[in-house]
Amino acid sequence: MPSAAPPSDPRLTATGRPAASGLGQLSWALFEWARNPYYILIVIYIFGPYFSQEIVGDPIRGQAIWGYVNGFAGFCIACFAPFLGAIADRVGRRKPWIAAFVGMMAPSILLLWFAIPGGEFGVPAVAAALTLAGLGFAFTEVFHNAMLADVAPVSRIGTVSGWGLALGNAGALIILVAMLYGFALPADPAIHWSFLPEVPWFGLDVSSFEHVRIAAPITALWLVAFALPLFLFTPDAAASSTPVGQSIRAGIADTLGTLRELRHYRNIAIYLLARMLFNDGKVAIMTFGTLYATGVFGWDAVERLIFGIVLTVVAVAGGFLGGVLDDRFGSKPAVMATIGGNAVALLAAISITPTSIFFIPMEGLDREIWAFPYFNTLPEMLYVAISMLFAVFITSAYANSRTLLARIVPLEMMTKFFGLYALSGQVTAFVASLLVAFTTDWFSSQRAGFASILVLLVGGLVMMLWVKEERTEAASG
């Protein structure tokens, strides 16, 4: 069935209801500010490398275990998330679901504070906490996204969505800067800059890594505090009169029906399959890039925080690059250029070690080439530069891939296919992490594990050759 046309009055939402107030719209966007620091701080820059280096104590084994943990969480997400969107449309109210998943996510993150090297809260407990937190992160996204059509007026839906993305990165950036200034730099005995606190804030114990583990309670409290405006000021859809159990069964049936419909749209199906591969590759680069560098170069908390701040800022440029490429060359060439750029950058990244550049061993690479106490060797500087390319290309590819779908699907089926688009980003969410984990274990090499992501990027890029950038007509009947 074709999706309903949006209302002609731009002040109404896409569902024909009055839009939320400005405060309600801002509170919806602020939820991204609340939840996104989990992924940036815990998964990418702070806790993941700490887990590998200090809890596991072996970079190679740590990368493998981190891959298995994220792979298991991704498998659970893949089993349930594709159906939750359809269920959200059926049950009406979304905020009770969001509250339940925040209630699962926040304590799980907080428990990571107890992850001390050699302590009782070891690898199995960390894995369980991270799995629950990851599920909460993914599931809150489904129901939060489902609220947008009832919150923003048609004339501002893109703007309000953009607020969420911008605020999510901004919130994480503020925490990264605060942790660098208040915890990591004061904990470094080699740094005596006058503008820094003399000791880490709150007198945290550096010997037990409290200045690193503090990322967990900060992230948990940040999530709870800044999720509150959503519940207080953003209106929810009306509750459905259909019993919850029946709504869930109908939502599952809707999802399966949409998948069966896809056989009539070969070009779109090829594109969504390609996106499954290259999107998984992009996520894996973000998940393992810092962890890999920590093992190879021995980066500590300060270097990881600086690295995260730089990449978070640089990622903003990716959105602008994506727009320029799309407008000048078209969506398909833009997607292929950015995915190809990620593949080339990944190949360059794995070619660098403390003693080699572009797979060529060289003498003297461990010499300091500038006075700054961090990233002061040529290999490290090159890795940071290449990672800046990752940040630009990944953000750009995200924007371009979304635009390409909008260019090729039937106009009257836009909403339905964007539901499949979201599904394609979840259904194989575990593949990349398990691939990295398996190859790291098999070859006993961080480099081999990180390099395995090339399989996904190249596979997606090859499939894109068969995608046509042309509008598909809706199938009759």
Q: Domain for residue 1, yes or no?
A: no
Q: Both tokens of residue 360?
A: 């060529």
State the DSSP code for 118. T
Which DSSP state fits 55?
A: I
pLDDT reported for residue 184: 94
Indicate if 285 and 201 belong to the same structural domain: no
Q: Do 284 and 230 belong to one domain?
A: no
Tell me the DSSP string of 170-200. Answer: HHHHHHHHHHIIIIIHHH-TT---TTS-SS-
Q: Are residues 390 and 443 in the same domain?
A: yes
Strands 356-357, 360-361: pairing kind: antiparallel
Q: Tell whether 27 and 80 lie within a shared domain.
A: yes
**Residue (of 35, 30, 45, 31) closest to 310 by Cα position:** 45
CA distance 168 to 29: 8
Structure tokens at 361: 């061993």
Q: At what angle do helices 431-443 and 453-464 cross, to 10 degrees?
A: 130
Contact by Cβ (8 Å): 389, 341? yes
Chain-centre distance for alpha carbon 64 = 19
**Dist. CA 182–CA 173, nearest whole Å:** 14
pLDDT at residue 68, as a whole number: 92
Q: How many CB atoms lie within 10 A of CB 409?
A: 23
Of residues 35, 48, 21, 433, the one with CA closest to residue 213: 48
Residue 57 lies in a domain: yes
Range of the domain at 286: 265-477
**Tokens 């979840």 -> residue:** 426
Residues of the chain with pLDDT under 70: 1-11, 14-15, 81-82, 85-86, 88-91, 157-158, 162, 239-244, 247-248, 251, 254-255, 258-259, 318-320, 322-323, 399, 402, 411-420, 422-423, 426-427, 474-477
- Helix, strand, or coil (residue 87): helix
Whether 10 is covered by a domain: the verdict is no
49 falls within a domain: yes
Determine the pLDDT at residue 145. Answer: 75
**CATH number reported for the structural domain that contains residue 217 in this entry:** 1.20.1250.20
- Is 12 part of any domain? no
Residues 64, 211: one domain? Answer: yes
Two tokens, residue 16: 């024909």
- The string of pLDDT tens digits covering residues 395-411 is 877 767 767 877 787 76
pLDDT of residue 346: 96
Give the span between the Cα atoms of 231 and 22, in whole angstroms: 15
Instruction: Look up tokens 């990418």; give the residue.
Output: 44
Considering the domain architecture, whether residues 255 and 274 belong to the same structural domain is answered as no
Name the domain count of the chain.
Answer: 2
C-alpha–C-alpha distance, residues 426 and 78, integer Å: 5
Residue 18: how many other CB atoms lie within 10 Å: 12
Whole-structure pTM value: 0.84
Q: In this prediction, what percent of the chain has a pLDDT beyond 90?
A: 44
**Which of 259, 292, 310 corresponds to the end of one domain?**
259
Beta pairing partners, 353:
356
